[in-house]
A and B are shown apart, each in its own frame.
Chain A
Amino acid sequence: MAVRENAGFDYLLFDKINDLWQPFFKSHRQEGLTLPNTPLTPGLAAGRLPPEAYAHNFDDLEPVLDAHEAHVAADRCYFCHDAPCITACPTSIDIPLFIRQIATGTPEAAAKTIWDQNILGGMCARVCPTEQLCEEACVREAAEGKPVEIGRLQRFATDRVMGKGVHPYSRAANTGKRVAVVGAGPAGLACAHRLAMKGHDVVLMDRRDKPGGLNEYGIASYKAPHDFAQAEVEWLLKIGGIDLRLGVELGRDVTLDSLRAEYDAVFLGIGLGGVNALRAAGEDVKGVRDAVDFIAELRQQPDKAKLPIGRDVVVIGGGMTAVDAAVQSRLLGAQNVTIVYRRGQEKMSASRHEQDHAQQVGVRIVCNAAPVEVIGQNGAVTAVVFAYTEDGPEGLKLLADTFTLKADQVFKAIGQTLVAPEGMGGPKLATQPMAGVWTGGDCAAGGEDLTVTAVAEGRDAAEAIHASFGG
């Protein structure tokens, strides 16, 4: 049975690593080597933890269910009439049906049911805040506070079939239509797959050198370890008819006009490329950076022991990005990690579940405080001064009362913004901003900024494009 020691939140953090450290220290002393870093080493330092701790900390947060566990979990589903969980799922997966298919020993059929609605069902099973979506709507949540484990069951089914390398979709007869899909994140991938399935030829372009969007560069490592994002894209492309072109940037290498001229339709799933500024004095010193950049670097670094991290880390923001940056700082061995959010805790956009996770790994969450000054010494950050805030009818007010947090590293996680293609603007793009152009995912208006919403919007745009071809 696949029982893992670190199932749940059992990370190897500072208080648990002593046993691992002692032999390590001893061998270093014996060989006359310089002693390694520890969580107490001041400033930015890599390798604060014993080598074993990294693999342990960045492995699956929740292990996949084994067949028997899945059977038992599936049996709890009541097969509700017009089930509320289906309504709660942005991609409207027929959840009771796929769970019944698992219960009757056909995970293959279950996976197909999932993918029919959500081709990134594997990733969504890992990253969806299910406690706010399907599992919140589950009638067993109402009945006993314990929903059916929909997310984990979804992962069980999709992992099974992906593990066998089976891709159960094929293309319809070629239509001769060509569609440009810009952005190979969840929205673009879902759109491309659906279009290819309908028989259209797709050119999928992304400015990065790996596909996946935030699945590859944003999602917390422990939610999708073992290079799952790339494996999923590879699997998705098996349908054929999708020409993936990496390193192609809209606005630099191609223009929207040229795409509109060359293709029968264009889909934009470019996500949110910009970040908000802190607007606190001194934010330009060394050690202050955007949380999304830090996370992207972390995701791309196969050897986490090589990542420098501060001893005292301050994360500014209240969303999923803030939580992920803070938690992963702790997992890299930071001694003190504090999230500071300017409004009340109930306003944090990170789910309660995420906040609990952060607090369980020892992240401190401070609310109702905003940064006013970043203090540096020799060009590197040493502390951040915060003012207490008051959230009133006229908006947020900074109070005179301030406090200072020691910091050798500061992550800004105060929201991403749209970098609109030329000729377009607004905080978000319209669903169909101009003739022949559709949008979806984070860059598009409507829906929450979630992987699953991006998939739904990409898929629906593909259907709309297909319909516009008279399909």
Chain B
Amino acid sequence: MADLTTNFIGIKSPNPFWLASAPPTDKEYNVRRAFEAGWGGVVWKTLGSEGPPVVNVNGPRYGAVWGADRRLLGLNNIELITDRPLEVNLREIKSVKRDYKDRALIISLMVPCDEDSWRDILKRIEDTEADGVELNFGCPHGMAERGMGSAVGQVPEYIEMVTRWVKQHSRMPCIVKLTPNISDIRKPAEAAKRGGADAVSLINTINSITSVNLDSFSPEPMIDGKGTHGGYCGPAVKPIALNMVAEIARSAETRGLPISGIGGVTTWRDAAEFMALGAGNVQVCTAAMTYGFKIVQEMISGLSQYMDEKGMTATSDLVGRAVPNVTDWQYLNLEYVTKAKIDQDACIQCGRCYAACEDTSHQAISMSDDRVFEVMDDECVACNLCVNVCPVEDCITMVELPKGTVDARTGKPVADYANWTTHPNNPSVKAAE
């Protein structure tokens, strides 16, 4: 069986599944249950400075987006960092770590943006025996209004400065957690690296309003008639997170910087995808909040089965495997030609491909009186919209035209690899001539 043990910036854990810093990791009781259920590590709910803890609104604290069967697709929250006293958290962290030496236990931190505050908190956590720290530069609500969280994460210079303080005042491995509420994710990652971070983790939650109550005209979640933007997470954010992870993994400036992948990880497959795009491990929050801690068992069995089937023995065999295949649009092969093909035996004649192609694409599907749908190769541009709207899996497939075959649409034979950089329509090619 595949070995799921990971060594992430020197921190060992029996599997790559960590719980992200959030309510599931807010106290000893939860974390013990999580470790019993099999989680490889936890990032403790973000701690703040000494003194009176932050105050949360009573609630509701969550907004949600559901599928038809109330499947939770996206969750939004307006929680702050831990609202329990610092001493209590530190005592509990120490007690849990003592009993679970084989698991990773990271402390998430968020304190005001001055060196003293960071030096103080690092000193306070020193004797907990925790394995590392994660700097929360991500919370998009509440804390940001006080100059913390994403207010720091959106300014690369601050990230660099704080990371440098942390590395100066502590020997612990340091992970910088990034906010996605920024236009180019590479910039904060570069700043973290310059500041000496051992790794980055991403994404934290995305600014969002999940819905508007059309009776009271307040955004959800609504507190006494008013609402504020919250942080979006869960399955809906995964595509955004994957892209951000990939950008950091393939950028020349940050290549090789360890990444902890976060955002919508719900199944072993999601985890495997993050890892293939360069994440050394993953962190999970919403899936655990939706289904409970037990889901880690499916993640463990699924990932090991997949790795066995692929002949991978260690997670390092998987990490980064897809990174070389992420490229820029301009390098995509313009001579790669496919045609949609409808399997008439599998077709259930719903006509969705027809409506999609006829109304919104290239009028490349014909419909007969007895509802037979066929692709016209001389019109099909291979956009594959029909594949995506077809309710039957594998009923419509995109079939590649071998090199040399004539494309009925263009009348030209399929040629060797050629991309935009050399295409005659590209103005910069002409300019170079």
Q: Which residues of A contact B (CB under 8 A)?
A: 68, 71-72, 74-75, 78-84, 103, 139-140, 142-143
The chain B residue with its CB closest to the CB of A87 is B371
Partner among B70, B352, B354, B392 whose Cβ is within 8 Å of the Cβ of A79: B352
A143: which of B69, B348, B355, B371 is its contact (CB, 8 Å)? B348
Contact of A80 among B68, B69, B350, B392 (CB under 8 A): B350
Is the Cβ of A81 less than 8 Å from the Cβ of B354? yes
Tell me which of A75, A81, A139, A140 contacts B69 (CB under 8 A): A75
> Quick one: which of A71, A78, A84 contacts B391, CB cutoff 8 A?
A78
Q: What residues of chain A lie closer than 8 Å to B68, measured between beta carbons?
A: 71-72, 74-75, 103
- Check B352–A78 contact: CB distance below 8 A: yes
| Shortest distance between the CB of A241 and any CB in chain B (Å) | 36
B142 at interface, CB cutoff 8 A: no
B328-352: which have CB < 8 Å to A?
348-352
- Chain A residues closer than 8 Å to B355, beta-carbon distance: 81
| A429, B377: Cα distance in complex, Å | 53
A139 touches B354 (CB 8 A): no
Main secondary structure of the interface of B (DSSP, over half): loop
Q: Which residues from B are CB-within-8-Å of A103?
A: 68
A-B CB contacts (within 8 Å), total count: 40
* A82 to chain B: closest residue by CB: B351
A142 CA to B346 CA, complexed, in Å: 10
Contacts of B392 in A (CB 8 A): 143
Q: A71-B69, A143-B348 are in contact. List 7 more A-B contacts (CB 8 A).
A: A75-B67, A75-B68, A78-B352, A80-B349, A81-B351, A139-B350, A142-B349
Please, which residue of chain B has its CB at the minimum distance from the CB of A142? B348
Interface size of B as a range: 10 to 19
Are B348's CB and A81's CB within 8 A? no
Q: Which residues of B contact A78 (CB under 8 A)?
A: 350, 352, 391
- A-chain residues with CB within 8 Å of residue B367 when the two chains form the complex: 81-82
**Complex-state Cα separation, A227 to B101, whole angstroms:** 71
In B347-390, the 8 Å CB interface with A consists of 348-352, 354-355, 367, 371
Residue of A nearest to B355 (CB): A81
Q: Are A84 and B349 in contact (CB under 8 A)?
A: yes
Provide the bound-state CA to CA distance between A410 and B269, in Å: 65
**What are 7 sample pairs from A and B whose C-beta atoms fall under 8 A apart?**
A71-B68, A80-B351, A81-B351, A82-B351, A84-B371, A142-B348, A142-B349
Query: Which residues of B, 13-62, contact A by the 8 Å Cβ criterion?
Result: none
Q: Contact partner of A140 among B348, B351, B354, CB < 8 A?
A: B348
Q: What separation, in Å, do the CA atoms of A140 and B352 have in the docked complex?
A: 13
Tell me the complex Cα distance, A83–B351, Å. 8
B67 nearest CB neighbor, chain A only: A75
Give the complex CA separation of A143 and B346 in angstroms: 8
Who on chain B is nearest to A74 by CB? B68
Q: Which residues of B contact A75 (CB under 8 A)?
A: 67-69
Tell me how far the C-beta of A150 lies from the nearest C-beta in chain B, rounded to whole angstroms.
Answer: 15
**Cα distance, A82 to B69, chains bound together (Å):** 26
Question: For A142, what are the chain B residues with a Cβ–Cβ distance below 8 Å?
Answer: 348-349
Least Cβ distance of A99 to chain B in Å?
11
- CA distance in complex: A52, B391 (Å): 47
A residues within 8 A CB of B391?
A: 78, 143
Chain A residues contacting B349 (CB-CB under 8 Å) are 80, 84, 139, 142
Measured CA separation A75–B367 after assembly (Å): 25
Q: Which of B69, B349, B352, B392 has the most CB of A within 10 A?
A: B349
Residue of A nearest to B390 (CB): A78
A68 to B68, CA, bound (A): 9
User: Which B residues are CB-close (under 8 A) to A143?
Assistant: 348, 391-392
Contacts of A83 in B (CB 8 A): 350-351
Which residue from chain B places its CB closest to the CB of A79 in the assembled complex? B352
Looking at B350, B352, B391, the one whose CB has the most chain A CB atoms below 10 A away is B350
In the assembled complex, how far is the CB of residue B356 from the closest CB belonging to chain A, in whole angstroms?
Answer: 9
Residues from 95 to 113 in B contacting A, C-beta threshold 8 Å: none
Residue of B nearest to A73 (CB): B68
Give bound CA distance, A259 to B155, whole Å.
88
Chain A nearest CB, measured from B78 CB (Å): 25
Residues of A within 8 A of B354 (CB): 81
